[in-house]
Structure 1
């Protein structure tokens, strides 16, 4: 374990929130050529033409036991080069210099030794990473000096460990990647509707089968802190809390649990008592983190209005409604976090206006500008972390290119549908923006490293050094750093032949590991002295596991694990892959959009599409179109068929005895409804101009739920359509996002002059759930040129999603 001295460094760094934009210009006496491949690029760089050789490695020389841990950062670099550092005569001499800021390091390289001074152990780790990146392919170092510090104190990455479980080994891969690019906080999203991955001693029933023991967390915390990374826990409440309600409904759920299995009962005093205990356990399990994230967004409140405990609680605490109860919950929950000695962090999700004040000593991770906008939060005194969906989200097919990320800045926010040419919201520079964080949602552990290796460094450089260079110059620098960290984590190359989607490296879930017949794995170690061991059942390879000697043939579902060894000791991290035999392939003709499998937006067709199913394996293809699982007696595929309505297609291969062969193929196809009305393609004005999709989507005549204009419930969300001339209007049809369980509240007004408005439809108390057919409102005929739809509330979360607004 670390001494108290070392433990305090990340804590002091985090709390200080040192903001250095006024002094972050890069000073360099060296051209930015291929020999200087540093990412993020340092603030001050003074190198000479003189080179020194470190071909025998670098040995940390210090009497401080804690500082010797820097050797754990150095050794993997040289191990992949077949160099042992244990007998190296070239020394790295680290020291803590209290005169330096906690996040500053000074690296000095002479022809005899390397001196590294820093204000904290964390910054020593940064300097060590810079030193390793500076070593060229011939194991030479330029002499000179580097002084460096970050522009923003919080540089984060979040892993969704609930919707997609990550093995301890995979988390270590990501920690190594964070360390390499000076990302100092790794947020572990431990709970959500899918899994509860924290093992509580007080509430053991909560833990899912896949979860982290206290021993696992101790190992991960130690691995991270040694590399300059702090793990930040997140327990997501009160929404996204099915993990609580499903296992302990009597404590955490409403009386009528079925009405809302997603949200904690915020009106039950026992829930607050339980959170006090649970948060205490979490705080102890993450000793190095100054923070605890408790979620707080997208709270589904259906069922609360009729719950007896909720109603009594509202009266007792003089709360007007469930919205105020939600704000009250956030205040109590964050107070509990503070009582455990942690700084609370919340997702943005609460509205600006409300009787119950959310204290502004809470840090807000703002991910959507149309909610409670970042500028408003800054003006109201909140410290915020930029978690803008575009370009910092890594989720299914919503992934942004490294160039898009590099061209972003920490004061810029965009939603996922904001067009590229739209600026989004750009906040004024302020020390209230304390950092930024990349968010990884729903990504399987089998592709986490590959999804991040090109994206994370682009964000890192933008928040470390705001005076960074052009993307082209950066791209040349990052090539070498990428190859180095890949070799350190996986000291081998893996070639996969036979994948169904060989060219699709950015799938939604795990389609990149499907194969339809036979898969061949060819592996080459980085150096000849590295041996490779593997398993085919997902277990961790050891020295007695299967030795790789020739290409591996895979013909069935396989959990593949691969580990490199050197001198009988593990080298790098364990590579995990989950290969799935999916023998049925889809060929669809007639689609209007070409998307990867299982895309959020859904595959669309207009009048009809033709489906062709095939398999290279022998057997019978059985299929369904109603989202049911195909069985041996389901419809037999014999020839291509035509579809004219929206379907959820599922297909599977069966042998002659009716046994399934491999996995099922499935995908959703949506018929694009084309409906014209008085509003079609007429000019649109909206309350929200910087985020939430293209306004023209709401009256383009195309009815598809994933193409919508969006906003958030800040109390003033509307769209106005100009019919361009006075018309007699008799009815309206409103299409809001439909998924079977949410309803939207709204009103409709008409006007002749765009100044004086008449209310003609009042659904401010609407409880009818949204349906694909839309909501029809007939009215007494009126004369109107302008029509206004005012969106009030969505029962599921703060989002407002308007698919189409029609008038007749």
Structure 2
């Protein structure tokens, strides 16, 4: 039964031939191919079709035969290709592959035959494209559009990462994750197996790693800085993979042309290992425990001979399980506090004439790299491995923005781009935090992920050759269930596949999101996947200024329905179904608010969108005759839960002037609030948008009217609003408070006719 489920999983979506192809230049295929040339006619796939292959035991050929049998109800035996091709055949051959780049394929569908010309992985990817063209109606016959497709990947490294340390996921789910990867032409599964919160791989020589290190007693409740003091759920988290299970997953992935890249973290993120074997730390009597909260632990491996012997033993067993060229050794977020205080570490720095503790980390990484190089393997590390000097043959995975990757490429090191700032951290929110399940913070909507380009313009052509590819990461601090992983993964995984595979010139977000994606989401919906339902095409939160509101919407999921209200209440399936474009006239001094929701055939729901339009005169300016740039501010110490909890002093204590909203200098004081007061200069009549991005709460008022409400204790969250203003000066008030150690504040303005940008001191006065 499970085998059948997996084969259904990789079927993706049947696109059929009923839809007008003129509006579907890529035939619904994700990721979009290099070249698609449509021709007239169709091929009829039926029980009489013959499957011919140069090699009948090729794993890609077997994969297609199993799919046709279990998902398309077509029991078509594989026959040896003798060179004589009869009509009504699917031909899988290496003939006709001249000039194809690595992993490329040529798929030709005529009314008589289907031919996939490819070698190795290219054959598998051609088969995945063919599967996407087969209607998913489980009929014994299917019509395939005649077409010529030539295709190959933009990047050789196309990765997805799964963190199983913070929360454990069983082998069956890992295989499901790999199946999705295979269907969308990913070829690297980065398996994050060790961290502070759990050790998840059996190591025979060190049984305590799983006896102790795979178990934590509890987990912090909510975001780790939501509560002071932190609270815990008293629920143990356990789990690890036996070596037999590891071998099973590695083979399963290899059968789908996916290489599993294991990650064994060092020298930081080591609390699970230190709890198991305290002698590996610089303070063995400290009483290490598997960490029950998130964040960065100051406890790291001590760079002793005992530690290196342990790590070499561990890596030896890891290499026996994983044939991957690369072994990921982490290297990120390794505080040097313990090393600075350790007499042993300070002697080691002097002994090897290292510059400082960063040099000691470089020594640590290089020693591990030399060991792995002797075994014919290479290391990948997060971009912190650049600190103190990069190991000679290391590949850098750039996650803290692109700069680490840029620096590494300029030093002629290979790079995999995976920056959170590029929308590649799939644990980041897909919409406003107030509408999303709990996340670590950050903001990575589908369009941001899709628009990422892994090759920075700062690099020249030779340096760009060192960009091996791209990877998206699924960290699971706040993802405890399989359903939530699917929700965070889908549909952004489809966008990443196109970033990794499709030529830059062929990418088109409108075609991706409005033409191709709806059918892929419909397949997910029908087959029981959880995913984030996009809002209706054409609907988004907005506030405008005018006399009419015109609405033209389309469902983002094939078969879904759109419901709407104009009475201010949240729409649901009991409200009016949207079917045709609508235009609302707005009387003077009134407004219209249209709320919409998408509900899929299985009952999944999008977030609600609110589109508002005002027919009101802009607010007149206030009197201001000065010319002093910057805002006055007052700093108010204390712990607060809301911007309503504090007030400006009556004695005019807000006498200090600031030309920015940088709150970092105030964070050292612990909890605090701050009120900015002054005026904003508006250069033309119009509707102005404002937004704040803050950790914790912020509210913005113009002429004493609340425009942005981003209040409350929360991680980084963005909220927006708008107001119609006349040319001149308007009173400006911003209130903010911070709890804990992770505060931040940014303010943005959208001027009519211009893109959104940070609000600068050139518009602010006191």
> Smaller-chain TM-score range?
0.5 to 0.7
Indicate the residue corresponding to 2:486 in structure 1. 449
Indicate the residue corresponding to 2:266 in structure 1. 237
SS in 2 for 1:361: coil
Aligned pairs for 1:408-487 within 5 A: 408-411=452-455, 430-442=464-476, 443-444=479-480, 445-465=482-502, 466-475=504-513, 476-484=515-523
1:177 equivalenced with 2:188 (yes/no): no
- Cα deviation, residue 95, structure 1: 3.2
Instruction: Give the Cα–Cα distance (whole angstroms) in 2 for the partners of residues 405 and 64 of structure 1.
Output: 39
Instruction: Give the Cα–Cα distance (whole angstroms) in 1 for the partners of residues 126 and 653 of structure 2.
Output: 64
- Could you list the per-position Cα deviations for residues 595-633 of structure 1 after superposition, in whole angstroms to 9, with x for gaps in the alignment? xxxxxxxxxxx99xxxxxxxxxxxxxxxxxxxxxxxxxx
Instruction: Give the Cα–Cα distance (whole angstroms) in 1 for the partners of residues 534 and 101 of structure 2.
Output: 47
Indicate the residue corresponding to 2:169 in structure 1. 166
Indicate the residue corresponding to 2:279 in structure 1. 250
Quick one: structure 1 residues 706 and 148, their matched pair in 2 at CA, closer, same or farther if it must change by over 3 Å?
farther
Indicate the residue corresponding to 2:629 in structure 1. none
Aligned match for 2:319, one of 277, 283, 288: 283
- Could you list the per-position Cα deviations for residues 32-89 of structure 1 after superposition, in whole angstroms to 9, with x for gaps in the alignment? 5188111111112223121012244977533635414433356447634555555999
Structure 2: unaligned runs, 5 residues or longer: 1-20, 80-86, 215-237, 289-295, 428-438, 536-634, 675-694, 697-737, 743-766
- Cα deviation, residue 471, structure 1: 1.3
Instruction: Give the Cα–Cα distance (whole angstroms) in 1 for the partners of residues 117 and 110 of structure 2.
Output: 14
- Which TM-score applies when normalising by structure 2? 0.57
1:294 equivalenced with 2:361 (yes/no): no
* Alignment check: 8 A CA contact 1:74 1:132 kept: no
Aligned pairs for 1:528-539 within 5 A: none
Instruction: Give the Cα–Cα distance (whole angstroms) in 2 for the partners of residues 262 and 173 of structure 1.
Output: 35
Indicate the residue corresponding to 1:365 in structure 2. 397
* Alignment check: 8 A CA contact 1:360 1:383 kept: no
SS in 1 for 2:662: helix
Quick one: structure 1 residues 275 and 674, their matched pair in 2 at CA, closer, same or farther if it must change by over 3 Å?
farther
- Cα deviation, residue 215, structure 1: 1.4
Instruction: Give the Cα–Cα distance (whole angstroms) in 2 for the partners of residues 334 and 701 of structure 1.
Output: 39
Instruction: Give the Cα–Cα distance (whole angstroms) in 1 for the partners of residues 60 and 418 of structure 2.
Output: 32
SS in 2 for 1:467: helix
Instruction: Give the Cα–Cα distance (whole angstroms) in 1 for the partners of residues 285 and 48 of structure 2.
Output: 65
Q: CA RMSD in A?
A: 4.1
- Cα deviation, residue 165, structure 1: 0.9
1:61 equivalenced with 2:52 (yes/no): yes
- Cα deviation, residue 482, structure 1: 3.6
- Cα deviation, residue 145, structure 1: 2.2
Quick one: structure 1 residues 681 and 452, their matched pair in 2 at CA, closer, same or farther if it must change by over 3 Å?
farther
Figure out how many residues of one structure are paired with residues of the other and give that number: 494
Quick one: structure 1 residues 347 and 58, their matched pair in 2 at CA, closer, same or farther if it must change by over 3 Å?
farther
1:93 equivalenced with 2:91 (yes/no): yes
Indicate the residue corresponding to 1:22 in structure 2. none
- Cα deviation, residue 409, structure 1: 1.5
* Alignment check: 8 A CA contact 1:160 1:441 kept: yes
Instruction: Give the Cα–Cα distance (whole angstroms) in 2 for the partners of residues 485 and 402 of structure 1.
Output: 17
Instruction: Give the Cα–Cα distance (whole angstroms) in 1 for the partners of residues 420 and 741 of structure 2.
Output: 30
Quick one: structure 1 residues 59 and 219, their matched pair in 2 at CA, closer, same or farther if it must change by over 3 Å?
farther
Indicate the residue corresponding to 2:711 in structure 1. none
- Could you list the per-position Cα deviations for residues 577-601 of structure 1 after superposition, in whole angstroms to 9, with x for gaps in the alignment? xxxxxxxxxxxxxxxxxxxxxxxxx
Indicate the residue corresponding to 2:157 in structure 1. 154
1:133 equivalenced with 2:129 (yes/no): no
Aligned pairs for 1:606-625 within 5 A: none
Instruction: Give the Cα–Cα distance (whole angstroms) in 2 for the partners of residues 502 and 451 of structure 1.
Output: 11
- Cα deviation, residue 244, structure 1: 1.0
The range that moved more, 473-482 or 251-260, is 251-260
Structure 1: unaligned runs, 5 residues or longer: 1-29, 413-424, 496-500, 505-605, 608-643, 648-667, 685-694, 709-735, 738-769, 775-808
Instruction: Give the Cα–Cα distance (whole angstroms) in 1 for the partners of residues 644 and 392 of structure 2.
Output: 44
* Alignment check: 8 A CA contact 1:682 1:699 kept: no
- Cα deviation, residue 265, structure 1: 3.1
Indicate the residue corresponding to 1:211 in structure 2. 240
* Alignment check: 8 A CA contact 1:697 1:707 kept: no
SS in 2 for 1:400: coil
- Could you list the per-position Cα deviations for residues 621-672 of structure 1 after superposition, in whole angstroms to 9, with x for gaps in the alignment? xxxxxxxxxxxxxxxxxxxxxxx9558xxxxxxxxxxxxxxxxxxxx99978
SS in 2 for 1:143: strand
- Cα deviation, residue 503, structure 1: 12
Aligned match for 1:375, one of 406, 417, 429: 406
Indicate the residue corresponding to 1:271 in structure 2. 307
Indicate the residue corresponding to 1:384 in structure 2. 415
SS in 1 for 2:454: coil
* Alignment check: 8 A CA contact 2:42 2:143 kept: yes
Aligned match for 1:682, one of 648, 653, 658: 658
Instruction: Give the Cα–Cα distance (whole angstroms) in 2 for the partners of residues 281 and 439 of structure 1.
Output: 25
Quick one: structure 1 residues 702 and 270, their matched pair in 2 at CA, closer, same or farther if it must change by over 3 Å?
closer
Instruction: Give the Cα–Cα distance (whole angstroms) in 1 for the partners of residues 672 and 61 of structure 2.
Output: 49
Instruction: Give the Cα–Cα distance (whole angstroms) in 2 for the partners of residues 173 and 96 of structure 1.
Output: 30
Aligned pairs for 1:194-209 within 5 A: 194-207=197-210, 208=214, 209=238
Quick one: structure 1 residues 253 and 107, their matched pair in 2 at CA, closer, same or farther if it must change by over 3 Å?
farther
Aligned match for 1:193, one of 192, 196, 211: 196
Quick one: structure 1 residues 218 and 51, their matched pair in 2 at CA, closer, same or farther if it must change by over 3 Å?
same
- Could you list the per-position Cα deviations for residues 480-509 of structure 1 after superposition, in whole angstroms to 9, with x for gaps in the alignment? 23434665xxx45899xxxxx9999xxxxx
